[in-house]
Amino acid sequence: MQNADLTVRHGRHWRYIALAAALLLPLLACLLLTWAGAQRLNLKQAQTEASISRNHIERILREAWAAVDAMGPLLSEPCEDAQPVLSRIISMRSYFRALALFDGRQVYCSTLITLPRGTVYQWPADIPTGRWLRLVGGTPLMQGRPALLAGAAGPGERHAMAVIDSQHLQDLLDSVASLNQHHIELKIDGGMMLTSRPAQDPPMAPDGAVSARESFTSEGVPVIIEVSLPGAEVREEWRSLLLVFLPVALVLGCLMAWGVHRLQMQRLSFRDQMQRGMRAGEFHMEYQPIFGIASGRCEGAEALMRWERPGMGAVSPEVFIAAAEAEGIIVALTRHALRLIERDLPLMTLPPGFHLSVNVAADHLRRDDFIDDIETFAARVAPSAPQLVLELTERSLVEDSGRVQLHLRSLRAAGVRIAIDDFGAGYCSLSYLQQFPVDYLKIDKLFIEAITGSEPETPVLDLILALARRLDLAVVAEGVSEQAQLDYLRAHEVTYAQGFLVSRPLRAEAFAQWYRVRGQAPLA
């Protein structure tokens, strides 16, 4: 009694856990997905801002390089000839603070009015070679005012330099960053970093921050734009998404919990439902013809149980038979099936010796009263004189402790025939074929479905057929649905065929009519 109570409590705990999981899983999924969504949305914003910044910065850099390229031919000209051209270049282009021509580190010509023509000014630092860009904190004449320098080397030690007021870049970064209060950094070739204002401290990744980066080269010079979002932005977006989706997840969780509860109640009461269904006559038998391939006529039928629930439709046999085994009422269900067959046989008017296959569960086989049940059934249907065939699963034989073998030998001595159902699809031990009294092998439909085309690849099926011939066992091929399959089976001398090519399962009255019209007619 104590063990039973423990089992009940254990089962109840698992039911509660299942209900809690059904309720909480949508909520947890909502939290995770909305968090990921918030990060994705903010990352998309950051990527958009980085892309906008890149487009504007590339335009400014194109202007800078265009000016530098226009200054190149002037490096071989005296300042008197070059300065008017420099003035015209700077007047036609935006962004520029000054244009200058260098000889070594000396500015010998520029557009600065503070440097009259002919004045020589010494640049305070070495000038890079090749084509270059540099962000600096100021220039010698305007210290403390950042600038972007763009330059290119000319003949000898001469250089052309364009000075771009970085306020243009600063205004760009500030305006883009102000859209969502983000933090933008601009780095050019390892020089100083230009940041949006007010410059926020870069957020830490564990705080929920995300960042986007645009990297490109301008005339071979690396440029990096990075947009960082503070963690507070992500959390705020997350809260906004939760306000929308959390109620939906809560409703979904409640619906899932309700569905799990319904399933639990159905499982808990499946035993009662089946017992009530047996009392209410909801179960009936259908009979699928078994065709003798050599004789060209119907020689038997398999009795198949069906359950029609009023208002709910048919319940799959795979479902209710498995449930009956789990609930411990498979024996009662089998006995009910035998009573239904007994009721149907007088309606079917079958010839003596007609094979009637009945499925028997493993639990029933092991019971002491199994032989009594079968012998009682055989006696009741004796007026119809069918050849009774018991269909067993491979598991029934493999798990035998000795009792099943005794039962089968006793029944076989009384004229009952034994068939192994779905052979080859379950347990792999073949020793039981010699230990047990077996008359028929029913080949699972999976092997029959492999018979396709003009040259089917059926190595497993061929082995089973060879094994059956070696053991002198008749073979019933299940699931035969195509003429090509029947032709293959006939060519390989298979005894019986069962499947939709012959007929679907029929109720007793329909089977009797089918048997009168088509039962003696060859298939093809």
pLDDT in tens, 77-87: 888 888 899 98
Q: Which residue has the tokens 């950051």?
A: 46
Q: Taking phi first (over 0 means left), then psi (-120 to 50 degrees means alpha), and beta for anything else, what does residue 362 get? A: alpha
DSSP string, 93-162: SSSEEEEEEEETTEEEEES-TTS-TT--EE-SSPPPSSEEEEEES-BTTBTTS-EEEEEEE-STTEEEEE
pLDDT in tens, 374-391: 999 999 999 888 999 999
Q: Is 255 within a domain? A: no
Q: What's the CA gap between 379 and 358, in Å, rounded? A: 15
Question: What's the total number of domains in the chain?
Answer: 1
Outline where DSSP puts E strands in 318-427: 355-359, 387-392, 417-423
pLDDT(268) > 70: no
Question: Which residues on neighbouring strands pair with residue 477, listed in sequence order?
Answer: 443, 497
What is the rounded average pLDDT of the residues 89-109? 86
pLDDT in tens, 220-232: 889 988 888 777 7
pLDDT in tens, 450-482: 887 666 778 888 888 998 899 899 999 999 999
pLDDT(346) > 90: yes
Of 363, 440, 358, nearest to 404 by C-alpha is 363
pLDDT(258) > 80: no
What is the rounded average pLDDT of the residues 336-360? 94
Q: Given 3-state DSSP classes, what are the helix, strand and coil percentages for the chain, each rounded to the nearest 5?
A: 50, 25, 30
CATH of the domain at 350: 3.20.20.450
**Whole domain around residue 473: which residue ranges?**
269-515
Q: How far apart are the first and last CA of the chain?
A: 63
Q: Best-predicted range by mean pLDDT among 76-90, 170-184, 279-293, 447-461?
A: 279-293
Q: Is 60 within a domain? A: no
What is the rounded average pLDDT of the residues 315-343? 92
Q: Using N-to-C axis directions, what is the helix angle for 330-348 and 508-518, rounded to 10°?
A: 50
Q: State the average pLDDT for the chain.
A: 83
Q: Is 306 within a domain? A: yes
Q: Is 390 within a domain? A: yes
Instruction: Determine contact, residues 132/52, Cβ cutoff 8 Å.
Output: no
> Is there a cis peptide before residue 73, judged by omega within 30 degrees of 0?
no
The percent of residues in the chain predicted with pLDDT above 90, rounded, is 30
What is the rounded average pLDDT of the residues 488-515? 94
Q: Is 347 within a domain? A: yes
Q: What's the CA gap between 75 and 160, in Å, rounded? A: 7
Instruction: Determine contact, residues 147/164, Cβ cutoff 8 Å.
Output: yes
Q: Is 496 within a domain? A: yes
Higher pLDDT, 211 or 99: 99
State the pLDDT at residue 398: 64
Instruction: Determine contact, residues 304/287, Cβ cutoff 8 Å.
Output: yes
Q: Is 263 within a domain? A: no
Q: Which secondary-structure segment (H or E) carries 360?
A: none
pLDDT(95) > 50: yes
Find how far residue 115's CA is from the centre of its chain.
72
Q: Is 520 within a domain? A: no
Structure tokens given for 392 = 């067993």
